Structure 1
Amino acid sequence: MPDQTAIINIKNLRLRTFIGFNPEEQEKQQDVIINAEIHYPASHLCLTDHVEGALNYKTITKAMIALVEGGRFKLLEKLVSDVLDICCQHSSVTFAQVTIDKPHALRFADSVSLTLAKRKSNTGAEH
């Protein structure tokens, strides 16, 4: 069987957190919207409906929720980096990308967003 890649997409996970460095941002939680893409090898077990071969997206999402809702972040870059680290924790992940939107951050824009991506080699090294 040729190598296949499984891609998990977590779309529009809406959470609230303390984000920003202005005094009013540190006093009141704000909405953030998380989109994540996680790649891993689609093993024979995964393709034959055996749970052991699949990555558990519910576990990943719960960790994201705990981090975001329980945290305080001055910079969007730090928040995105921490969520990306959660996405890359499992040893089988080969690539992950996270975009987080901060709605209403600018007066005349729908949102401001930041995207970070990480690719892991077969040796586990990050690029």
Structure 2
Amino acid sequence: MQGAIATIRVKNLRLRTYIGIKQEEIENKQDVVVNVIINYPADNATESDNMDDALNYRTITKKIIALIESNRFSLLEKLTADVLAIATEHPWVESASVEIDKPHALRFADSVSMSLSYTKPK
């Protein structure tokens, strides 16, 4: 199918990391929930049914997990930007967006989230 755009969605990837600036956040890991959307041209993959013609979402997700679980972050902005960098590192990626939730960051809210997106320059 010519012109097909594939959308990969990694939904609600639940991880733990050090995130924040308060002493208790620096000393204790917290939950984060990661959502990633990646768009890329799918013509080759839809025609060949060959993994070499598709983006490997397992490889991308493993890189995200390694990044988050092995680092410390003061700001949700930095964490989100670093995940977006992984999501967009393959040259086929046309656009991507990342949203990361920090559950229970505010007393009366379910979570606080940060979103960043990227579109390849034309």
Q: Which TM-score band applies after superposition, normalised by the shorter structure?
A: over 0.9
| TM-score, with length taken from structure 1 | 0.92
Partner of 2:46: 47
1:87 is the counterpart of 2:87: yes
Partner of 2:72: 72
Task: Decide whether the 8 Å contact of 2:80 with 2:116 is kept in 1.
Answer: yes
Partner of 1:17: 17
Give the AA of the match of 1:8. Answer: I
Task: Decide whether the 8 Å contact of 2:99 with 2:113 is kept in 1.
Answer: yes
Give the AA of the match of 2:94. Answer: T
Partner of 1:8: 8
| TM-score, with length taken from structure 2 | 0.96
Gaps of 5+ in 2: none
Task: Decide whether the 8 Å contact of 2:2 with 2:43 is kept in 1.
Answer: no
Distance 1:2 1:31 in 2: 41
Structure 1 segments of 4 or more deviating over 4 A?
Answer: none
Post-superposition CA distance 1:37-66 (Å, at most 9, x none):
00000023x003111110000000000000
Distance 1:6 1:98 in 2: 16
Distance 1:24 1:53 in 2: 45
CA-atom RMSD in angstroms? 0.9
- Equivalenced residue count is 121
How far residue 2 of structure 1 moved from its aligned partner, in angstroms, is 3.0
Identity of aligned residues (%): 55
Describe the SS at the equivalent of 2:10.
Answer: strand
